[in-house]
Amino acid sequence: MKFSELNLNESLLEALSYMNFVDATPIQEQAIPIILENRDLIACAQTGTGKTGAFVLPTLNQLIGKTDTHIDTLIIVPTRELAVQIEQQIQGLSYFISVGSKAIYGGGDSKDWTLQKEALTQGTDIIVATPGKLLSHLKLGYVNFKHVKRLILDEADRMLDMGFIDDLKTIISYLPKERQTLMFSATMPPNISQLAKRIMKNPAEIALSISKPAEGVDQKVYLAFDEQKTNVLIHLLNERKNYDSIIVFTSAKAKVSEIVRALNRSGFKAKGMSSNLEQERREEVLRGFRSKRIRILVATDVMSRGIDIKEINMVINFDVPHDAEDYVHRVGRTARANTKGEAVTLVNPKDMHKFAKIERLIGSSITKNQPPEEIGEGPEWRESKPRPKNKRRRYNNKNKRRNFKKKGEGHKGNQQKGK
């Protein structure tokens, strides 16, 4: 379906045309009409499907012609990167209409705090905020949310994973009960459903392609011992010198700088990205990666959700993510908007059972490769979780204790019987 068929204002359609957006994605096609009807909505769709546009476009449409300065829409997101990205998208799409917005997030200086306070006290049409920083402002008593008409929770499951559930409940207590509430999430675990029941009224529900990587992703696995992983990574990068945008994911912040140093020593231009970096430095690295000045970005899962960087050629999982769902989000960084991409995961023996869970989640088996011959033979594929070497000994000792106890009890019982 084309955007021109979605009953959007001509000014918005002009902005979309200027940005070369013609066809709506499935989530946009289904969500926009519901939001324009002022209904509550729970939308479940994987990363890279156009969720941001699905709520930003109808929100902007509803704000056209607004004359007051009150805060109309509150968008809450899990990370500052996502807050910045959404606010930039709002600015781009509102070029032909008069709508103001402000991103509220931590990591800045006193000047940033002052600008945020101004937006929250003097008013702006849309506030995009992370929970912690917004709560800091709310507790000081000067924020007025009495006129908020829309609450949007983006990456709701991620916010709950990060422990923001209590912050969200507190923030929502400051909002009018009569409002439109939209919840966008990649997955729908029970705690999300419970939160939705508490804060929404008869919401419409949309669920698209949950837990499936995009069809354009070519997925591979290399079975490698930990000491082989860096060499396999360097081999992969040497084979793909024509790729100008690659993300290497690791689950541990401590590994980021270690991998970056190894790549730099091998002649690859790589930078690291984790929550350890100051906000200004993170934004600088992100700009470099977007502009292709930085070819390889090594990152933790802070980059796996919500960050919209187009034309990423390849995602490499240096290690298997802790949660199977996070694999989908990592892999979703490539092959966005119906393009092609490549995803390679390095799997050591202890992570094989975790990767087997991923395969069950996505409903397909991924080809397992051995490392290149010059690196040496890798481990054999085994789906089951490896037993600790001393497990059988513990089991036998436990049985011995149990048998000893039974004998003792029986002996004692016989003594009592004989009395």
At 359, which CATH number?
Answer: 3.40.50.300
Under 8 Å between Cβ of 227 and 376: no
36 plus 182 within the same structural domain: yes
- Which pLDDT score, from 0 to 100, does residue 407 have? 46
In a domain, 121, yes or no: yes
Is 276 inside a domain boundary?
Answer: yes
Query: Is residue 416 in a domain?
Result: no
Structure pTM?
A: 0.65
Task: Choose one of 208, 233, 258: the last residue of a domain.
Answer: 208
Instruction: Give the number of C-alpha atoms closer than 13 A to the C-alpha of residue 291, restricted to the C-beta side.
Output: 7
SS3 353: helix
Listed residue (25, 80, 36) closest to 62, CA to CA: 36
Instruction: Using DSSP, state whether 206 is helix, strand or coil.
Output: strand
Same domain, 190 and 42: yes
Q: What is the CA radius of gyration of the chain?
A: 26
Q: Smallest Cα–Cα separation from 262: which of 228, 218, 294?
A: 228
Match 């790589």 to its residue by tokens.
270
276 and 323 together in one domain = yes
Please tell me whether residues 297 and 233 are part of one structural domain.
yes
Contacts with 42 (C-beta within 8 Å, 6 or more apart), sequence order = 183, 185, 188, 196, 200, 203, 204, 205, 206
Same domain, 196 and 261: no
What is the C-alpha separation between 349 and 138, in angstroms, rounded? 48
Q: What is the pLDDT of residues 258-297, one digit of tens each?
A: 999 999 999 998 999 876 777 678 788 888 998 889 999 9
Strands (E), 96-227: 101-104, 126-129, 150-153, 180-185, 204-208, 217-223
Do 324 and 224 fall within a single domain?
A: yes
**pLDDT value for 400:** 45
Residues of the chain below pLDDT 70: 46-48, 209-215, 275, 279, 302-308, 310, 335-339, 384-419
* Residues 34 and 132 grouped into a single domain: yes
Q: Are residues 204 and 228 in the same domain?
A: no
By three-state DSSP, how is residue 75 classified? Answer: strand
Residue pair 229/346 in contact (Cβ under 8 Å)? The answer is yes
What sections of 123-251 are H helices per DSSP?
A: 131-138, 156-161, 165-173, 190-199, 226-239
Give the domain range for residue 231: 217-375
Asked whether the beta carbons of 103 and 83 are under 8 A apart, the reply is yes
Closest to 346 (Cα-Cα) out of 260, 222, 231? 222
The count of structural domains within the chain is 2
Q: At what angle do helices 51-63 and 80-93 cross, to 10 degrees?
A: 50
Q: Are residues 232 and 182 in the same domain?
A: no
Residues 178 and 85 in one domain: yes
pLDDT reported for residue 308: 62
- Report yes or no on 382 lying in a domain: no
395 SS3 class: helix
Residue 163: its pLDDT value, please? 85
Q: Are residues 9 and 138 in the same domain?
A: yes
State whether 199 and 246 are in the same domain. Answer: no
